[in-house]
Amino acid sequence: MITSTLNISSNTEKLNAVREFISIAAHNFGFDDETASKISLAVDEACTNIIKHAYEYAPNKELEIKVLTNKQQFEVIITHQGKLLDPKLIKTPDMKEYLVHPRRGGLGIHLMRLLMDSVEYKIRDDKKCEVHLMKKISTAVG
């Protein structure tokens, strides 16, 4: 299991650094440019949601972005201490309806689910919240 970690403050200014960190880790893992871009976008969306909804734009809160890899999978775990993002409350938009009546918002969660093999939300015993984004090597190409 290989691990690398990036700690950032809850500021959208840091998203660029997050994408760069994930892109390097994904390339090192062996993913191609397209897959590395997809994972970077999904992690950007997850961090944006945490900054926006869990921390409600309060600056200087903490996010930890950890990459865990083994031979089969590339997992990103984002830890925060803001409000729990309850996936049951975060509906995937009905895209048919969305395209008829465009509106802002809701697309980030949808994108994360389209771009990754799985997206999970967990609460740890110490009450910290985690978002897990996972991509398997078998689905890396295409």
Partner 1 sequence: MSNFKVGIRENQNVQVVDLKGYLDAHTAPELEKIFQALIDKKNFNIVVNCRDLNYISSAGLGVFMAYIEDVRKNSGDIKLSNMSAKIYNVFDLLGFPLLYDITSDEAEAIQNFCSKK
CA–CA separation, 38 and 42 (whole Å): 6
Of 63-71, 98-106, 116-124, 130-138: span binding partner 1 (CB under 8 A): 98-106
CB of 96 to partner 1, least distance (A): 8
Residue 3: CB minimum distance to partner 1, A: 26
- What x-and-dash track marks residues 57-86 binding partner 1 by CB under 8 A? ------------------------------
Residue selected from 60, 72, 88, 102 as contacting partner 1 according to rule CB under 8 A: 102
Residue-by-residue DSSP string for the chain: -EEEEEEEES-GGGHHHHHHHHHHHHHHHT--HHHHHHHHHHHHHHHHHIIIIISTT-TT-EEEEEEEE-SSEEEEEEEE-S----TTTSPPP-HHHHHHS--SSSHHHHHHHHHSSEEEEEE-TTS-EEEEEEEEGGGS--
Residues numbered 120-139 forming contacts with partner 1, rule: CB under 8 A: none
Show the site string, 6-45: x = touches partner 1 by CB under 8 A, - = not. ------xx-xx--x--------------x--x---x--xx
Spatial contact of 63 and 93, defined as CB atoms under 8 Å apart:
no
Residues at the interface with partner 1 (CB under 8 A): 12-13, 15-16, 19, 34, 37, 41, 44-45, 48, 51-52, 95, 99, 101-105, 107-108, 110-111, 114-115
